[in-house]
Amino acid sequence: MAKTTKKRRGPQPAAKAPLDVPVHVGQTVEVEITGLNHEGAGVGRIEGYTLFVEGALAKERVRARVDHVKKHFGFAKLAAVVEPSVHRLLPPCPVYDSCGGCSLQHLAYEEQLRHKQQIVRDNLRRIGGFPVEGDGAITVHPTLGMADPWRYRNKAQVPIGVENGALVGGFYAEKSHSIIDMDECLIQHQANDEAVAAVKKIAAGLNIQPYDEVRHTGLLRHVVAKIGVRTGEVMVVLVTTEESIPRKDELVEAIRARVPGLASIVQNVNPDKTNVIFGKKTVTLWGGDVIYDCIGPIKFAISARSFYQVNPAQTEVLYNKALEYVGATGTETVIDAYCGIGTISLFLAQKSKHVYGVEIVPEAIADANRNAELNGVKNATFETGPAEVVIPAWKEQGIRPDVIVVDPPRKGCDEALLATILELQPQKVVYVSCNPSTLARDLKVLAEKYEVKEVQPVDMFPWTGHVECVIGIQRIDT
């Protein structure tokens, strides 16, 4: 018999002591909900310990099952509503409980608008240190909502996968990459739903293999549908793992036959094992390279990879408010940092002497120049690069802005850009924000030389926890 050697065990890490909190994973608790957090989860407390309960509403008593605990707070799933809120709705979407796209369909729309106003107030107070009540308080206006808050999204990005050997497509379940197969989304424009449903059926019928994210096999990864709401033009983008598509001509002809308003079919090739949707190569299979839409009087060309606001009706509301805060009289020089494809820049150029737009993405600047030409705008100049580098270079050329407009991503403004603004000291700064917490942080920095008097929230994404804001701040002249 072979001799066996027992492995010596080295020093073992000490077992983690259980957290000293009043709840444990798997426990069902009854809790009073006092409010909602920024993601729309109910906030309750058990013996002073904060518990976030997904699906619960303010002023409800609920039973919830604890599924995660940390030192200062925990998370729980709603098990039952003991005493419901007067604002609770029955969600109209049949997959609302499993899809991760919306978080507030169970809350009356007017109450959503009040909640988003309060989220902005809370962030300004807690992170920015600004007064929101009493003398000298910042006015946070009521959230500007939609008369009809459904079917507003002009772009659908639908992951394609395989389930029991069949092609499926829909949105991901919350906090997962498990696809909820669906052919209808109540916040998507109906034309997008119809286009995606048609492509799914056509691809399955032609035996085009769906992408398997785990094995990194298959061909069709995503179907992206875009519509120009004012023009009615539809673009279908097929994101594939390789350029070769079997029965490509049949696929294109079938899509043409079954998608009303179709103006463009585009293929994007993404061979990488990644969560990023688009790859580097884009090919037009049929029709134009772009479709068109309008915000107010400005027309925009939208390509497969263009960033374009997904709620054009509320974008016009947002941009009109930004234009109001700029207070343009036709004599102002305006710099638009984070200008993207020129949406705000061209809107502001209507009433400004000259607008300078800067953006780090070269493709976006190419789109901005194309959009300026499309609209016959001569008083807009666009340049590629980091705003904190390009704007000082413009200063050296004698360009002195009266107004700087910023519309940064969720992470907020780059610190160097904030320092550049404070150095240039334009008379006004207009901040368009998609994240109240980074907005409050950045306004705290700018408050060194600028006075914040009012904030206007705008509901760009009904039935979700997201809120946009636009703020006009004035330099403090001492």
3-state SS record for 304-342: CCCCCCCCHHHHHHHHHHHHHHHCCCCCCEEEEECCCCC
Mean of pLDDT values over 258-284: 97
pLDDT score, position 169: 96
β 291-295/61-69 pair status:
unpaired
Summarised one tens digit per residue, pLDDT across range 125-161 is 999 999 998 888 999 999 999 999 999 999 999 999 9
Q: Which helix (H) or strand (E) holds 133?
A: none
The percent helix, strand, coil of the chain (3-state, each to 5) is 25, 30, 45
| pLDDT band at residue 8 under the 50/70/90 scheme | very low
Centre a 10 Å sphere on the Cβ of residue 193 and count the other Cβ atoms it contains: 19
Q: For residues 119 and 427, what is the distance between their CA atoms, to the nearest angstrom?
A: 28
pLDDT score, position 173: 87
Query: Average pLDDT over the chain, rounded to whole?
Result: 94
Percent share of the chain, pLDDT over 70? 96
Contact (Cβ atoms closer than 8 angstroms) between residue 356 and residue 378: no
Mean of pLDDT values over 96-125: 95
Residue 117 has pLDDT above 60, yes or no: yes
Mean of pLDDT values over 268-294: 96
* CA torsion angle 329 330 332 334 (round to 10): 110
* CA torsion angle 455 459 465 471 (round to 10): -20
Contact (Cβ atoms closer than 8 angstroms) between residue 156 and residue 185: yes
β 28-36/42-46 pair status:
antiparallel
Termini Cα distance of the chain: 93
Say which of 93, 102, 294, 434 is annotated catalytic. 434
Closest CA to 335 of 410, 409, 376, 385: 385
Summarised one tens digit per residue, pLDDT across range 9-27 is 555 554 455 688 999 999 9
Summarised one tens digit per residue, pLDDT across range 224-252 is 999 999 999 999 999 999 999 999 999 99
Summarised one tens digit per residue, pLDDT across range 397-410 is 999 999 999 999 99
Residue ranges and CATH numbers for the domains of the chain are: 28-83 (2.40.50.140), 155-295 (2.40.50.1070), 311-475 (3.40.50.150)
Output phi, psi for 233, to 5 deg: -75, 135
pLDDT score, position 12: 54
Half-sphere exposure of 49 (CA within 13 A, CB side): 21
Residue 358 has pLDDT above 50, yes or no: yes
468 is written with which tokens? Answer: 């946009």
| pLDDT band at residue 4 under the 50/70/90 scheme | very low
Our answer to whether residue 434 is catalytic in this structure is: yes
β 380-384/354-359 pair status:
parallel
Residue 453 has pLDDT above 60, yes or no: yes
pLDDT score, position 403: 97
Residue 182 has pLDDT above 90, yes or no: yes
Task: Please give the C-alpha separations between residue 343 and each of 143, 151, 300, 360, in angstroms, as whole numbers.
Answer: 22, 22, 8, 15
Q: pLDDT higher for 100 or 354? A: 354
Q: For residues 152 and 191, what is the distance between their CA atoms, to the nearest angstrom?
A: 11
Q: Which helix (H) or strand (E) holds 433?
A: strand 428-433
Q: For residues 52 and 78, what is the distance between their CA atoms, to the nearest angstrom?
A: 10
